[in-house]
Amino acid sequence: MSKLVLLRHGESVWNLKNIFTGWVDVPLSQNGIKEAEAAGQKIAGIEFDVVFSSMQIRAMETAMIALVQSHSEKTPVVLHDDPEMKDKTGIYSEETLANVLPVYHNWHLNERYYGGLQGRNKAQVAEEFGDEQVHIWRRSYDVPPPNGECLKETAERTIPFFVESVMPLLAENKNVLVSAHGNSLRSIVMHIENLSKDDVLQLEIPTGTPMLYEFTQNKLKTQSLP
């Protein structure tokens, strides 16, 4: 029986400032660092085999800070796709390699692209366009923000990645951590739990709160963390 943990990054600096972030790369806030530490303590007893993160620093920070809390002797190490980085980051000790926890970054897990709203204060955008329009942009399934990405389009990249890259590992009895974002994880949970496009609009994934699933009989089932 393998385990899957989905973890939304801790509070970012722009979460704190109420600014649309999307693909803009901003770090965790001080509270976000504490959330990542607390999340790591909740999953410290799970021996992960593979970690996936988005390309964005807030998800990367959250994964690494959380994994530092682990009871495992393995060291999380980022494995790079870039040929130059891959060549220069080789590990030349079999003993060390045996205790490496591979961490992969992939853009398919990135947050929903907010287009023309990125970097803008949410309250100011609501004043300009109205609360109802902003709610539609933020919560509808298939209405994108100006020049941005709707949840449906986010799901079109996250779900194939999840099915092709994560599910086979679970089937091999490997434990997997995915560190990503509110909307990229909402789309994955929609797939896992077979939610309708109306159901997923009600789904909220809080920052720094790990979600645990167990893979058994070729299905993922929600489990509670201590």
Q: What is the mean pLDDT of residues 181-195?
A: 96
User: For residue 139, what pLDDT is reported?
Assistant: 87
43 belongs to a structural domain: yes
Predicted local distance difference test score (pLDDT) of residue 104: 97
Q: Is residue 178 situated within a structural domain?
A: no
For residue 32, is it within any domain?
Answer: yes
- Note whether residue 112 is domain-resident: yes
Report whether pLDDT(219) > 90.
yes
Average pLDDT value for residue range 31-50: 98
Indicate whether 50 belongs to any domain.
Answer: yes
The pLDDT of residue 126 is: 96
Task: Name the 3-class secondary structure at 22.
Answer: coil
Q: Given pLDDT bands bounded at 50, 70 and 90, which one contains residue 201?
A: confident
Q: Give the integer Cα–Cα distance in Å for 56 and 98.
A: 27
Using one digit for the tens of pLDDT, what is the confidence trace for 56-68?
999 999 999 999 9
pLDDT-derived band of residue 226, with 50, 70 and 90 as boundaries? confident
Asked whether the beta carbons of 62 and 180 are under 8 A apart, the reply is no
Position 77 scores a pLDDT of 97
Task: Give catalytic status of residue 80 as yes or no.
Answer: no
- What value does the mean pLDDT of the chain take? 96
- Supply the pLDDT for residue 17: 97
Q: Tell me the per-residue pLDDT of 93-109, one tens digit each, with 9 for 90 and over.
A: 999 999 999 999 999 99
Confidence of residue 81 (pLDDT cuts 50, 70, 90): confident
DSSP-based three-state secondary structure for 168: helix
Q: How far apart are CA 99 and CA 13, in angstroms?
A: 33
Average pLDDT over residues 18-45: 98
Based on the structure, what is the number of domains in the chain? 1
Find the range with the poorest average confidence among 49-58, 76-85, 119-128, 149-158.
76-85
CATH code, domain carrying 95: 3.40.50.1240
User: What pLDDT is attached to residue 190?
Assistant: 96
Segment 35-49 shows an average pLDDT of: 98
Which residue from 133, 151, 132, 134 is spatially nearest to 142, judged by alpha carbons? Answer: 151
Q: Cα Rg for the chain, rounded, in angstroms?
A: 18
Q: Point out the catalytic residue in the list 11, 35, 111, 149.
A: 111
According to the model, what pLDDT value does residue 203 have? Answer: 92
Domain with 128 in it? 2-173+183-223
Show the DSSP H helices in 43-181 as ranges: 57-68, 83-88, 94-97, 122-129, 131-139, 151-161, 167-171
What pLDDT, on a 0 to 100 scale, did the predictor assign at position 49?
98
Hey, how many other C-beta atoms are within 10 angstroms of the C-beta on 47?
13
> Of the listed 9, 105, 108, 181, which one is catalytic?
9
Q: Is 73 a catalytic residue?
A: no
Contact 184, 153 (CB under 8 A): no
Evaluate whether residue 56 is within a structural domain. yes
* pLDDT at residue number 220: 97
